[in-house]
């Protein structure tokens, strides 16, 4: 007679071993798969729109895939040479620039001592040099690893297509694996979708829009190295509390010092729009009932950046928020104020 406990132990051991093997198998492309899942969530409203029109899942998913490819490939073709050119200019300028001169003009009383000015200038020079060296090295790495990058992009679009098309089946399969009651499952998925929407649309998409708005101002008023400044503004816009002002305010000061009052006024207008557009866009994307505390988002983004790199901007807040949701489901209590605005 077979021992049922021994069978369970063997089954669990085999399942665990297969999960570990599957993890190591998918580890090289894990971030590509996660990126595809995130993109599928963001573009699901577009897919649903085409699905209503075509009534065909594969065709709708293919149309959205083509749109996404165009959104990525066209900017890459036109912007990559500009970005490389500006990055080289920034690197060369950083080696020749007098970093302390603008501060001496703004705060003359603080920089009366030549020794103090030299120390501050040396510290700023060292910091900027490290950043520009890192930027140039990153560009070199991207060019050298372009075949691998294209392979990752293939995985992203392949996964993106099937997640869009078969998303409902995937959701039902995940629900079937959960050891919770039907009511708890529905509550868990409701909060998870709300939190994911809050992070992806409320922080990432709106931050992207804010960065693009001020970037348009940089281009219109011909601010030097506008593309790099736009990328910095996008990153700053994604972070809660910080915002794009940390990028466009120094540019505004630079233009005023240079005596370019018209451009400074233009940047001020675009900067004000960029910093305040959040108040108008957020209600369209994020439910007031399901949201994350800004401090929690900021801390989890910084932690995610250290652990996962650039993708940590998204993964950090999602991991922390899902953890809180599962903890509250385990406690069988309402989700706390860190997530739900009551």
Say if pTM beats, i.e. exceeds, 0.85. Answer: no
What is the Cα gyration radius of the chain? 24
Please check whether residue 185 lies inside any domain of the structure. no
pLDDT tens digits along 15-71: 889 888 988 888 888 888 888 888 888 888 889 899 888 888 889 999 999 998 888
Please check whether residue 31 lies inside any domain of the structure. yes
In three-state secondary structure terms, 60 is: helix
Please check whether residue 144 lies inside any domain of the structure. yes
Please check whether residue 252 lies inside any domain of the structure. no
What is the rounded distance in angstroms from the CA atom of residue 102 to the CA atom of residue 259?
13
> Range of 120's domain?
1-177
Of residues 102 and 145, the one with the higher pLDDT is 145
pLDDT tens digits along 268-282: 888 888 888 877 776
Q: Would the pLDDT of 206 be above 80? A: yes
What is the rounded distance in angstroms from the CA atom of residue 18 to the CA atom of residue 255?
60
Residue 117: pLDDT band with limits 50, 70, 90: low
Please check whether residue 277 lies inside any domain of the structure. no
Please check whether residue 105 lies inside any domain of the structure. yes
Maximum Cα interatomic distance, the chain, rounded to a whole number of Å: 92
Q: Count other C-beta atoms under 10 Å from residue 102's C-beta.
A: 15
Residue 242: pLDDT band with limits 50, 70, 90: confident
| pLDDT given for residue 139 in this prediction | 66
Please check whether residue 91 lies inside any domain of the structure. yes
- 68, 41 contact by CB (below 8 A): no
Q: How high is the mean pLDDT of the chain?
A: 77
What is the rounded distance in angstroms from the CA atom of residue 65 to the CA atom of residue 53?
16
Number of domains in the chain: 1
Q: Would the pLDDT of 109 be above 50? A: yes
Q: CA torsion angle for 53, 59, 61, 64 (degrees, to 10)?
A: -70
- 315, 305 contact by CB (below 8 A): no
What is the rounded distance in angstroms from the CA atom of residue 288 to the CA atom of residue 278?
14
- 278, 238 contact by CB (below 8 A): no
Residue 341: pLDDT band with limits 50, 70, 90: very low
Sequence-separated (6 or more) residues with CB below 8 Å from residue 302: 316
Length of the chain: 342
Strand partners, 290: 340
Would you give the distance in Å from CA 189 to the centre of its chain?
Answer: 22
Mean pLDDT over residues 230-253, rounded? Answer: 82
- 300, 311 contact by CB (below 8 A): no
**Listed range (91-95, 237-241, 315-319) with the worst mean pLDDT:** 91-95
DSSP character string of 224-291 = TTHHHHHHHHHHHHHSTTT-THHHHHHHHHHHHHTT-HHHHHHHHHHHHHHHHHHHHHHHHHS-SSB-
Strand partners, 340: 290
pLDDT tens digits along 295-335: 777 788 788 878 877 777 778 888 887 787 777 666 665 54
Please check whether residue 81 lies inside any domain of the structure. yes
What is the rounded distance in angstroms from the CA atom of residue 75 to the CA atom of residue 79?
5
């Amino acid at each position: 007679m077979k021992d049922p406990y021994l069978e369970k132990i063997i089954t669990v051991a085999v399942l665990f071993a297969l999960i570990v093997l599957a993890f190591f198998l998918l580890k090289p492309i894990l971030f590509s798969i996660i990126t595809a899942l995130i993109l599928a969530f963001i573009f699901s409203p577009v897919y649903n729109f085409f699905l209503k029109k075509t009534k065909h899942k594969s065709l709708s998913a293919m149309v959205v895939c083509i749109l996404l490819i165009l959104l990525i490939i066209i900017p890459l073709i036109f912007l990559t040479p500009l970005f490389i050119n500006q990055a080289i200019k920034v690197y060369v300028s950083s080696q020749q620039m007098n970093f302390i001169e603008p501060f001496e003009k703004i705060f003359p009383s603080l920089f009366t001592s030549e020794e103090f000015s030299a120390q501050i200038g040396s510290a700023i020079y060292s910091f900027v040099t490290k950043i520009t060296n890192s930027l140039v090295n990153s560009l070199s790495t991207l060019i050298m690893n372009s075949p691998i990058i294209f392979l990752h992009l293939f995985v992203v679009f392949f996964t993106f297509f099937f997640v869009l098309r078969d998303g409902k089946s995937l959701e039902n399969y995940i629900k079937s694996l959960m050891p919770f009651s039907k009511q708890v499952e529905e509550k868990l998925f409701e909060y998870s979708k709300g939190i994911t929407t809050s992070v992806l649309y409320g922080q990432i998409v709106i931050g992207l829009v804010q960065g693009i708005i001020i970037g348009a101002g940089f281009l219109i008023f011909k601010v030097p190295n506008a593309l790099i400044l736009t990328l910095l503004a996008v990153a700053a816009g994604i972070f809660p509390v910080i915002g794009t002002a940390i990028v466009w305010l120094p540019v505004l000061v630079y233009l005023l010092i240079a005596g370019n009052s018209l451009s400074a006024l233009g940047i001020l207008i675009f900067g004000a729009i960029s910093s305040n557009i959040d108040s108008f866009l957020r209600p369209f994307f994020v439910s007031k009932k399901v949201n994350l505390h800004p401090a929690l988002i900021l801390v989890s983004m910084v932690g995610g950046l250290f652990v996962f790199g650039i993708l940590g901007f998204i993964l950090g807040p999602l991991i922390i928020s899902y953890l809180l949701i599962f903890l509250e489901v385990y406690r069988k209590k309402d989700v706390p104020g860190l997530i739900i605005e009551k």
